[in-house]
Amino acid sequence: MEAMSNPLLNFTGLPRFTEITAQHVEPAIDYLLEDNRRQIQALLSDVPQPDWHNFIEPLEELDDRLSRAWAPVSHLNAVLNSDELRAAYNACLPKLSDYATELGQNEALFHAYQKIADQGEALDGAQQRLLQNGLRDFRLSGVDLPEEKKQRFGEIASRLSEITARYEENILDATNAWTKVITDEKELAGLPQSALDLAAQTADRRGEQGWMFTLEFPSYFPIITYADNRELRREMYEAYATRASDQGPNGGEFDNSEIMEEILALRHELAGLLGYANYAERSLATKMARSTDEVLDFLHDLAARARKQGEEELAELHDFAREHFAVTELQSWDIPYYSEKLRKHRYSISQEELKPWFPETRVIPGMFEVIGRVFGVQIQESQEKVETWHPDVRFYEIRNHDGDLLGQFYFDLYARPKKRGGAWMADAISRMKTRNREQLPVAFMTCNFTPPVGDKPALLTHEEVQVLFHEFGHGLHHMLTQVDYPSISGISGVAWDAVELPSQFMENWCWEKQALPLISGHYETGDPLPSDMYERMLAARNFQSAMQLLRQLEFSLFDFLIHLQYDPQKGGRIYEILEAVREEVAVVRPPEWNRFAHGFHHIFGGGYAAGYYSYKWAEVLSADAFSLFEEKGVFDLQTGLAFRQHILEKGGSEDAMDLFIAFRGREPSIDALLRHSGIK
């Protein structure tokens, strides 16, 4: 295949999704890796006095070119998975890993970086930061290691890239493998009409009669929350909680057990090669937290503050279920169901009841209006025809108040088969400005909401509205950056435990009385959310908040401890450690056959290994940052512009704590988080 006819090698404009096929992937990546190696070697041999312009800028351009080719491949693998694409994607992973290791261990490159960094006074702050990060990353790639250890490091990195991808694939395959068709509507008592409509639509599209349920979240969630049929709840809970494991209806078929053990062993060995005692220590090299003790103290402190309240909340639930439904023992598949009943009983409000007031047709333009008022920008659907990967995908532009284009993004909002679950923002194109190139940032914004059914718009739960705002916070971080170098622009180069600050910060507007009229309105009448419903929604905001906090702390401690306490003699002890964590912090204890860790893709497949605590760490930052808006006004433009200037525009160009202090005037305090969470 001619290199230049390959759509992945055309870097003018946006990705050409209608042209890209699986056959293009390997040839494009092979070509770029070979060409990058050749050009880097030429830089090393032909530039006797390396400086920013003649050395670092060309390297940033080469790296960005590779990222731009890989971004649509990685994205399509997540949102339009097929056997052919998966094979091509997997074939490239070890090649990309080997290339990254090779560069990271290139001593000539390392010395050139060091030489340029030593020219300190000739560089601005962002340039110095990029070089400091680069020198750190060389060391984290093993540039200082003896040759045999360098080789082993490369083997580990390559193997990890393969098996973390396989872990993700097993979850996707296990999710797709299980379905349940029900033909007797009486078995579905309690389910809201929207869930019945989706299940009927799913059955119809797959040539079945009745109602079809899957393990995609919009299908799973209504069953576990609303179905009166306890056996159906149990069956679906078991299928969901044992995905990709040795247990459950597909037990052993897509089993992640051995992969998880190998991932932990390899991470531990890799950390040891670099001189760290364990992978948790290695993880903190790119984070705000200064030590493993600091992370553990933070998590244990939060758990201690929330434990008593969590126990009280669970006791209330047991009392309620016993008194109103004569249920003497609550199982894991009962907790969401009776919690929803209790919420409804106490506050006369449910997520389902709120959905008609949060149609996508109001939420999305309303969110854009909120963002416009807070940060002084305008967001509109693009007028140009843009190639996408699915008919549901839409494309938008974000502009400054004076009309200057700042960035663009794709919106892919609905769940469908062959699409990875969850919600995320990913880079399509990074901001870059060099003497040769100038490009604006483009983001992929992906969710898994219930799609429109019939002629109704998609109706969102209020929790889904928060997910949307959360991911858009990441998108703003990527698109509003004013840093010109991709490796420290947007979310790149940001300390990982600060990267969730903008996303969690944006969720606050979903609750504000002044913002809600913008993002809500009945899908049929346009009527505003009734004030009494808002008051009930607000009253229910912190319903079971301690139980929810403890669940997140359970995940965070488990993740951190399996990396911190790994012992090669004993293996991963995954469920042994999880059980010990639950003993300390959990108030709800799942059944022995629950295999939560087998589907915990954040830490085994995503970028959160020994870093899941970042969600809570950043929540302290975001709650404290928002408290300034509570003082000044939630639409105070001056405060919004300050947040934009100090946090969103700076990306990874300065230290995360310094940026927070520049915005807030002091270091963060935990008080706002406890207040927002309703923790006494």
Question: CA-to-CA distance for 657 and 187, rounded, in angstroms?
Answer: 54
Question: CA-to-CA distance for 649 and 284, rounded, in angstroms?
Answer: 24
Strands (E), 281-404: 377-381, 394-400
Residue 296 token pair: 């553990």
From the candidates 168, 471, 554, 649, give the one annotated as an active-site residue.
471
The closest alpha carbon to 299, from 641, 619, 658, belongs to 619
Give 316: exposed, middle or buried? Use CB within 10 Å, 0-12, 13-18, 19+: middle
The closest alpha carbon to 356, from 533, 171, 151, belongs to 533
State the residue for tokens 């290994």: 609
The closest alpha carbon to 11, from 63, 56, 55, belongs to 63
What are the distances in angstroms from CA 59 to CA 43, 103, 441? 9, 11, 19
| Helix ranges restricted to H, 524-613 | 531-539, 545-564, 574-585, 601-604
Is residue 471 flagged as an active site residue?
yes
Residue 176 token pair: 């797709």
Indicate the Cα dihedral angle 201, 203, 204, 205, nearest 10°: 80
568-600 CB burial, b ≥16 within 10 A, e <16:
eeeebbbbebbeebbeebbbbebeeebbbbbbb
DSSP state, residue 668: -
Question: CA-to-CA distance for 367 and 365, rounded, in angstroms?
Answer: 5
Q: Which residues are catalytic?
A: 471
